[in-house]
Structure 1
Amino acid sequence: MAPKVLVSDKLSETAVQIFRDRGIDVDFEPALGKDKDALLAKIGEYDGLAIRSATKVTEKLLEAAGNLKVVGRAGIGTDNVDKVAASKKGVIVMNTPFGNMITTAEHAIAMMFAVARQIPEASASTHAGKWEKSKFMGVELTGKTLGVIGAGNIGGIVCDRARGLKMKVAAYDPFLSEEKAEQMQVEKVELDDLLARADFITLHVPLIDATRNILSRENLAKTKKGVRIINCARGGLVDEEALAELLKSGHVAGAAFDVFAEEPATENPLFNLPNVVCTPHLGAATTEAQENVALQVAEQMSNYLLDGAVENALNMPSMTAEEAKVMGPWVNLAENLGAFIGQVTDEAIETVNITFDGVASEMNLNALEAAVIAGIMRSVNPDVNMVSAPVIAKDRGIQISRTTQDASGVFDGFIKLDIQTVEKYRTLAGTVFSDGQPRFIQIKGIRINSDIGEHMLYTTNRDVPGIIGKLGTLLAEHEENIANFTLGRAESGGDAIAMTFLDSPLKDSTKQALLDSGLFQQVRPLRFDV
């Protein structure tokens, strides 16, 4: 059955057609997002939900969305989505952070020009029939120092445009390397240095704990007299009360704000001050940007629902369509390694260390790690997936770590789990052969070469004569058909293990008969997704 997507906000017809062209059943109801009761009644039948800002994806809506797998936001902001609740429900939340980069950067440049030349006030004055030519004395941008706080995607474009305007560009960004700064032809500086030197300051960082109020009262006091400040990033980055006071005192010569601490902003300390330009969050408001993000979200959601590709996800490691094709068998292996551990472990797991060897170490490790944890946690909750599993594991206090290493054995690569519970230590490893089929290659430190089937039986015993014959006999007596069988041992007379691939789930009576024989230390029926 084809995946089903609901578009509950205004999205371009071209974007809706992308879903149809990809073979996805899509309902386009752009008014539904504003009717929360009607949306609640309908959401249960959909695999995907495409939105803008009107639709509110609340915990209540997610509870009603029994089939929902992905929410796609056409745009950057996802404040209208409860991402914690979505993660717990296993719903991927993705946005389109690159569709409006140029538009937002251009708006910042436009705002810089506007505040440098007092264009809005001069325009209003002229419209009023005045001719106040001497009143509006501006400044040139050429030769001025632009301080850019945040030199990522949008900030990087602003740096490039500013250099084209012959401005000197100084960038503060803890993640900007000296090499990257040199490539961008900008000067990497510390924040205090930027504040002291910049003639214009523009912000291009997300609102997180580390950036909240980054231009605080204290930092604003460090700025150069006559500075002009532009914020087209996020409200809450600047102390608006302190900035208003500095504008009134003349220390700050002007400001241009597209975003505010509280939105919609019907009142604000910056409103109606001289040489302050304000716009109603227009950073992404161009026809090109709106079309771009709509097309991107349709492509991203289609790629996930049809191919398993995860792009621009906020609560799951991203994995491109090409990565999904190459990594598919490895993701399957990772999930089944976790599933093995989850099914044979009765006590609480304290730590999980995942070793990625050889070719596995060169893949998307975040995705593989999420798959391992999903496999483990599925024994607790069968509805867990790669999105919700890390959240559940964290809630249970499980410590997860990873190790990478070059190829260290006969295989091109493998994944190995080392598990510590409150009582035991367990180890398990697997690889993907050239035929694309995952295999278990080590259990309890014992080498083995076991296929992975849907229904399997794991047994442990002492290495003594007659075990294999007795196992086969008991299974035959209970009409259990063996599809494949693999065994291994630590040493002659030591610990031994067997993995038996069955055609159907092991009967409870068969399990009891195996235990009653007294030959087996463990008898574990296992089920895997293959």
Structure 2
Amino acid sequence: MPRVLISDQLSPAAVEIFRQRGVEADVKIGLTKDELLKIIGDYDGLAIRSATKADKDVLAAGKRLKVIGRAGIGVDNVDIPSATARGVVVMNTPFGNSITTAEHAIAMMFALARQLPAADVSTQAGKWEKNRFMGVELFAKTLGLIGCGNIGSLVAERAIGLKMKVVAFDPFLSPERAVELGVEKVELDELLARADVITLHTPLTDKTRNILSAEALGKAKKGVLIINCARGGLVDEEALRAGLDSGHIGGAGFDVFVTEPAKENPLFGAENFVATPHLGASTLEAQENVALQVAEQISDYLLTGAVSNALNSPSITADEAPKLKPFVALAEKLGAFAGQMVDPGLKAIEVAYIGEVAKLNVKPMTAAALAGVLRPMLAEINMVSAPAVAKERGVTVQESKQELSPVYDSLMRITITSDAGEKSYAGAVIGGVPRIIEVKGMELDAPFSPAMLYVNNLDKPGFIGALGMMLGESGVNIATFNLGRVSAGDDAIALVGIDQMLSEPVLAKIQALPHVKEVRVLGF
């Protein structure tokens, strides 16, 4: 009988589901790291929320561990690369607490607009300071959404019901989807200049970290209210405190912090600052939903091998797995390549299957490709949520099949349409290994490396030597070197597998080489 450890507070209904499905579940809440390390080796599965830290030490100690299920969306507390390296599937429950989190953001907005927490404390102290607490109406005010995906769109719907004007900054939100939601799509600077209230609903990635920096906050309208019920780290906390103290920022409501549990924080004690201890998903309904969902998913995987809502493994049935596995891996890597090359204004993604692969069930492959394309901006996306996320943002997704392939037994091509036009990338499985065989119409044959340097240049003598010398002088070791070109002297590309990521100064030096048009570092 498979054994699962429940190390964070879950609904009792989850334990009952495990029991009914034939999975032994032990509930041990509040374990220290040392205590967890001592017992995790006895379990096949781990069911958690946000308190348990499944880091590389825990994963190394989990010799039997096959699956980690997160009852909720964020997986900041799970070392996904270590889990992947050890063959541990990491699952989440992406939609179980969306409404609850959206409602919490709206509650924060009301609390700030009417200064409810401070007024409550004052009134219960017997002060009756009626003239002290002068609030503002939300009616006819402008709400600025940073992120308009699943939760952001729910907040927009509720704000529109309050007769607010809603503007949204989201690179993946299409004009058509914006019209459907009743929001106005804008760039970040315009949102900062217009919004009376700003609420964040985006994952924490390298691109979104401190998206509300000191500079951005300085551009915001005086008196703006800022709400963060998404992820700590999206707002520069020190800069926000300075803005609150100066009066430039009218108020802030935070449910999440850079360091949690937040025993101390630069924002604590600021006037008109409201804080809650990461309660966004804390309703009876949401807790029940995510608990039931994670118990079902873990049970299915341990008993049948079925994978649902996985962040590091494709969702494939046990029967399909042997045939689909190499092509799903290709789709995700090819999608990740395209996603790191995508231009602003993503409009459409087309995945073409040519040859024998067209005869298979392509849905898991398309989902893997979408997850790969979208993940650079949406870190927590997975194969299950990727199609829904693309639809929410108005991104058109198309599949095409052609059973005859002139060169390869099976070929996969991803075409990305953005404001800048179309770009396509093709790959194939050769010897069981995914390889990239075409970039923007130029043929080549390159393996996917954990770190890759992409260079678009003019095909002129001396370029390869200059690039190699530059990398050598910078202490960068070359693992693979593959070239493609349109014709002699015309457009060309180099895909270089490297043993480490490159620093900005090194990238600048490569960009400055003669005949170089574009340089990017890609990670897989």
TM-score normalised by structure 2 residue count: 0.64
From 125, 128, 132, the counterpart of 2:129: 132
From 173, 176, 180, the counterpart of 1:176: 173
Match of 1:477? Answer: none
From 28, 43, 46, the counterpart of 2:26: 28
Match of 1:421? Answer: none
Residues 333 and 267 (structure 1), Cα distance of their counterparts in 2 relative to 1, 3 Å cut: closer
SS of structure 2 residue aligned to 1:241: helix
Paired with 2:278 and 2:45, the residues of 1 have a C-alpha distance of 27
From 192, 197, 200, the counterpart of 1:200: 197
Q: Which stretch shifts more, 357-366 or 67-76?
A: 357-366
Residues 327 and 365 of structure 2 are in contact (CA less than 8 Å); yes or no, is this contact kept in structure 1?
no
- Cα deviation for residue 58 of structure 1 reads 2.8
Residues 136 and 212 (structure 1), Cα distance of their counterparts in 2 relative to 1, 3 Å cut: same
Residues 238 and 310 (structure 1), Cα distance of their counterparts in 2 relative to 1, 3 Å cut: same
Match of 2:293? Answer: 296
Match of 2:403? Answer: 408
Paired with 2:170 and 2:210, the residues of 1 have a C-alpha distance of 15
Q: What amino acid is the match of 1:362? A: V
Residues 69 and 294 of structure 2 are in contact (CA less than 8 Å); yes or no, is this contact kept in structure 1?
yes
- Long gaps (5+) in structure 2: 329-351, 370-382, 384-398, 413-427, 433-524
Match of 1:483? Answer: none
Match of 2:106? Answer: 109
Q: Matched residues, percent identical?
A: 60
Match of 1:324? Answer: 317
Paired with 1:6 and 1:214, the residues of 2 have a C-alpha distance of 37
Paired with 2:363 and 2:291, the residues of 1 have a C-alpha distance of 30
Residues 334 and 368 of structure 1 are in contact (CA less than 8 Å); yes or no, is this contact kept in structure 2?
no
Paired with 2:324 and 2:266, the residues of 1 have a C-alpha distance of 54
Paired with 1:159 and 1:190, the residues of 2 have a C-alpha distance of 17
- Cα deviation for residue 18 of structure 1 reads 0.8
SS of structure 2 residue aligned to 1:253: strand
Paired with 2:400 and 2:116, the residues of 1 have a C-alpha distance of 59
SS of structure 2 residue aligned to 1:5: strand
Residues 326 and 429 of structure 2 are in contact (CA less than 8 Å); yes or no, is this contact kept in structure 1?
no
Paired with 2:258 and 2:231, the residues of 1 have a C-alpha distance of 8
Q: Which stretch shifts more, 167-176 or 10-19?
A: 10-19
Match of 2:323? Answer: 333
Q: What amino acid is the match of 1:244? A: R
- Cα deviation for residue 190 of structure 1 reads 0.8
Q: Which stretch shifts more, 168-177 or 72-81?
A: 72-81
Q: What amino acid is the match of 1:104? A: T
Q: How does 1:104-503 map to 2 (within 5 A)?
A: 104-317=101-314, 319=315, 324=317, 328-329=319-320, 331-334=321-324, 357-360=357-360, 362-365=362-365, 406-409=401-404, 415=410
- Indicate the structure (1 or 2) with the bigger Cα radius of gyration: 1
Q: What amino acid is the match of 1:299? A: E
- Cα deviation for residue 118 of structure 1 reads 0.6
Residues 169 and 22 (structure 1), Cα distance of their counterparts in 2 relative to 1, 3 Å cut: same
- Residues 203-229 of structure 1: per-residue CA shift (max 9 Å, x gap): 011111000010111111111122111
Residues 206 and 234 of structure 1 are in contact (CA less than 8 Å); yes or no, is this contact kept in structure 2?
yes
- Long gaps (5+) in structure 1: 339-352, 370-386, 388-403, 418-424, 430-530
Residues 427 and 63 (structure 1), Cα distance of their counterparts in 2 relative to 1, 3 Å cut: closer
Match of 1:66? Answer: 63
SS of structure 1 residue aligned to 2:250: strand
Q: What amino acid is the match of 1:14? A: A
Paired with 2:430 and 2:221, the residues of 1 have a C-alpha distance of 60
- Cα deviation for residue 80 of structure 1 reads 2.6
Residues 300 and 124 (structure 1), Cα distance of their counterparts in 2 relative to 1, 3 Å cut: same
SS of structure 2 residue aligned to 1:206: coil
- Cα deviation for residue 230 of structure 1 reads 0.8
